[in-house]
Structure 1
Amino acid sequence: MTSFAFPIIDLGPWFDGGPSGRQAVANRVRIACESIGFFAIVGHRVPDGAIDAMRSTSRDFFDLPTPRKMEVARPRPEQNRAYHAEGTETLARLAGNDTPPDYKEVFAIGPLDVPGDDPWYHAAPGAYPNYAPNLWPSDLPTFEPAWRTYWSAMEGLQDTISRIFALSLGLPEDWFGGALARHCSMLRALNYPAQRQLPRPGQLRAGEHTDLGMMTILKNEAADGGLEVRDLDGRWHEAPPVEDGFIVNIGDLLMRWSNDRFRSTLHRVANPRSGGGARRLSIAYFVAPAYDALIECLPGCATPDRPAKYPSVTVAAYRNARFARTAAPIVTAA
């Protein structure tokens, strides 16, 4: 691994520094997004208790026997919901590659309490599977409350970072608010177990890929075999754990929206270098606008020398089919 500058940005001035502080944070974020597409944040105001409870109850779930976890298995390959067992996801397919399945297991949820007061919108053509029902383990009483609390904290952080992105692109702070009002974001806990046997050739904890959404907010931890980011020269670099912060990266949708001003960067989760390595838990919140939001070149992101590169596309049209490719077929008993 070579070293490179991974920006760590304090959001304190965004909250407390007035217009000049907000602009200073936006400028730092813009530089990070235009260069490597990754940065870390501290001073985010997410309560420590919400993070601790999310980690604890997620570990409790992954410690359950496999048959218990399979009681809340993902219902269909295109639904990013509930339990994804080891061997059922291959993220490298997002980048057009085919490798052995990722060495991990996952639990995932999407938007809470839908359809709410607008059932037509959430059931309209094109909405599926973005608002598919969540499944919850029945015998872990702390699980659902912890996940709901963490989800709410991420919605708040999603709003803050989207405002920073807007200001960094020279737009009004609330520019992305309409697209995110009915967002179809996803929250996933990813358990990378100690590897009981040598990985197969080409198999990683998570294969190299870019994220499909607007951005990802990641809570990782210090353990051998973690997140690595690829630079423009094709070299891989370890991302810092930033124990008191989060790592944020740009997704494909924001890269398209910004006409490639912001970079969606290849990344992966490496295998441990020391034998089977230690278990690792990561918590990732994948921000996605409403399924029918139109992604087209933002004002100011196209110039005569750099015309709009991408055709307009809805969030659902871009994400749904590509994500379904990552899942192994679900086989049910006859």
Structure 2
Amino acid sequence: MAEAAAIPIIDISTEGGDQAEVAKALVDAAAEHGFVYIKNTGKDITLEQIERAFEMSRTLFSSPIEEKQNCSIQTNNQGWSGMGTETLDPKSQRVGDFKEAFNFGPFTNNQANQPIPTAIIPYQPSIAAFRTSCNDFCRKLLHLFGIGLGVSPPDFFKTAHSPSLPSGSILRFLYYPSPDSSSSSGSTSFTAPQANDVRAGAHSDYGSVTLLFRLRGQAGLELLTGSGAWKPVPVCPPGTEDDPAPPILVNIGDLLSYWTNGLLRSTVHRVTFDGAAVEGESNREPRYSIAYFCHPANETKLTAVPSERVRGFKGGLEDAKEENPYAERKVMTADEHLQMRLQASYLELYEKK
């Protein structure tokens, strides 16, 4: 069996615990690994919500292809993307990602502000509630990052991610067919993958923080370590196998890394067909996952974070290579940052525009 990536597990739910100590542990994990497992006690996001979300995801992806096509992704990053639509590693991939995805933007009064397949219209209140719980949990984490970094004021990040302001935050349902499938969820046909094809190309996330929910036994996620090796990221790391729900996997996005001058790492990761798996997990089955990508309000300017630790950090963005979009330090808004990344991943969509 493969050696798993060494990612810390942190419990942020302890009542009366030392908040400063938890905040320091989060910052240390984000600075060293870019990933951290958060034990899911059900206090912030319930097991029932997660199970319900996966049920809705299966229903959505089994919808007729025509219905999904009527909800195709737009340049606002909302909607359905089929097999090969997104290419997360365009420099290395022969074809686009072997996955389907559906991106949910904001809801108003429990109603989606975008076209959605008929089958999930009755579930809009549940999807909206889950999206809200994810956003609230992200803001809780971001407040702890503010404390751990000594930001003044400590709610700097939390305030910048106000749910009342427009942002690029997205709830994403994902479906990856098995390697030997002839169709995706009985709908869209696709060519069988060849050697070195991937379910999702190597990439780093675009926003501040990402929450990732996965199902037990479904392998495929790998991260790139500092030594240049790919290592699997198990759904249930040692010590969590008997927990009611797998821990929530949290990773730092490019925006938060840029915002902190590279102190917090945005780690490259991918989803493979045939990568090494840990005991009890397999790459051979269809794979479902759910991600929540948390972004600051669109007009937030990515000026230097008011933190002495961030200001004094060396060796992050200053070492960025040429051609890296972060090689030049400049002030941009959160929305400008997001559009820069989306255009690279959805080149054909933006060319049509």
Same fold per TM (> 0.5)?
yes
> Offset at 1:271?
0.9
Deviates more, 1:252-261 or 1:97-106: 97-106
Distance (whole Å) between structure 2 residues aligned to residue 307 and residue 268 of structure 1:
22
- Three-state SS of the structure 1 residue aligned to 2:84 is coil
Describe the superposition over 1:68-119 as per-residue Cα deviations: whole angstroms up to 9, x where unpaired.
3223222x3x2321211112111113xx5454110100011112239xxxxx
Match of 1:108 in 2: 103
* Native 8 Å contact 1:100 1:202 kept in 2: no
Instruction: Name the residue aligned to 2:240.
Output: none
Equivalent residue, structure 2, for 1:138: 118
Deviation string, structure 1 residues 253-309 (Cα, Å, up to 9, x no partner): 111111111100100011146998101111000011011111122121122967984
Say which SS state the counterpart of residue 139 (structure 1) adopts: helix
The answer as to 2:57 corresponding to 1:24 is no
CA distance in 1, matches of 2:344, 2:6: 33
> Structure 2: how far apart are the matches of 1:57 and 1:142?
10
CA distance in 2, matches of 1:255, 1:322: 14
Match of 2:229 in 1: 235
Is this contact kept in 2: 1:37–1:263, CA < 8 A? Answer: yes
1:210–1:266 contact (8 Å) kept in structure 2: yes
Q: Following superposition of structure 1 onto structure 2, how do residues 1-334 of structure 1 map, counting pairs within 5 Å?
A: 1-13=2-14, 16-18=15-17, 21-42=18-39, 43=41, 45-74=44-73, 76=74, 78-93=75-90, 97-113=92-108, 133-171=113-151, 172-181=153-162, 182=165, 183-195=167-179, 196=181, 198-242=192-236, 243-272=245-274, 277-298=284-305, 299-300=307-308, 301-303=310-312, 309=318, 310-327=329-346, 329=348
Deviations 1:166-211 (A, max 9, x none): 1110124311133111233111001011122641344211000011
Task: After superposing the two structures, state which structure 1 stretch, 55-64 or 309-318, moved more.
Answer: 309-318
- Displacement of 1:152 in angstroms is 1.1
TM-score by length of 1: 0.84
Partner Cα distance (2:348, 2:313) in 1: 46
C-alpha deviation, 1:312, in angstroms:
1.8
Whole-angstrom distance in 2 between the partners of 1:272 and 1:143: 34
Segments of structure 2 that go 5 or more residues without pairing to the other structure are: 182-190, 237-244, 319-328
Aligned partner of 1:127 in structure 2 is none
Between the aligned residues of both structures, percent identity stands at 28
Amino acid at match of 2:68: K
Structure 1 segments unaligned to the other structure (5+ residues): 115-131
3-state SS, counterpart of residue 293 of structure 2: strand
1:126 aligned partner: none
- Whether contact under 8 Å (2:80, 2:101) holds in the other structure is yes
Per-residue CA deviation, residues 212-267 of structure 1 (Å, 9 max, x unaligned), is 11111110123444211111111111112134321000011111111111100100
Q: Give 1:46 deviation, angstroms.
A: 0.7
> In the alignment, residue 209 of structure 1 is paired with which amino acid?
H
Separation in 1 of the partners of 2:313 and 2:230?
34
Structure 2 counterpart of 1:57, one-letter code: M
Partners of 2:313 and 2:93 in 1: how far apart? 38
Residues 28, 67 of structure 1: alpha-carbon distance in 2 compared, 3 angstrom cutoff: same
Q: Secondary structure at the match of 1:12?
A: coil
The alpha-carbon distance between structure 1 residues 308 and 188, as it changes in their structure 2 partners (threshold 3 A), is closer
Is the contact between residue 54 and residue 147 of structure 1 (CA under 8 Å) also seen in structure 2?
A: yes
Instruction: Using the TM superposition, give the Cα deviation of residue 141 of structure 1 relative to its aligned residue in structure 2, in angstroms.
Output: 4.1
CA shift, 1:31, in A, is: 1.3
Paired residues of 2:258 and 2:317 also in contact (CA < 8 A): no
Distance 2:192 2:97 in 1: 13
RMSD, aligned CA: 2.6
Conserved 8 A contact 1:88-1:328: no
Given that 2:104 and 2:172 are in contact with CA atoms closer than 8 Å, whether structure 1 keeps it comes out as: yes
TM-score, length-scaled by structure 2: 0.80
Q: Is the 8 A contact 2:219 2:283 kept in 1?
A: no
- 8 Å contact kept, 1:104–1:192: yes
State the alpha-carbon separation in 2 of the partners of residues 4 and 249 from structure 1. Answer: 13
CA distance in 2, matches of 1:205, 1:136: 24
Change (3 A) 1:64 1:302: same
Q: How many residues align?
A: 307
Asked if 1 retains the 8 angstrom alpha-carbon contact of 2:70 and 2:115, the reply is no
Q: For the structure 1 residues 307 and 152, does the alpha-carbon distance in structure 2 shift closer, same or farther, using more than 3 Å as the test?
A: closer
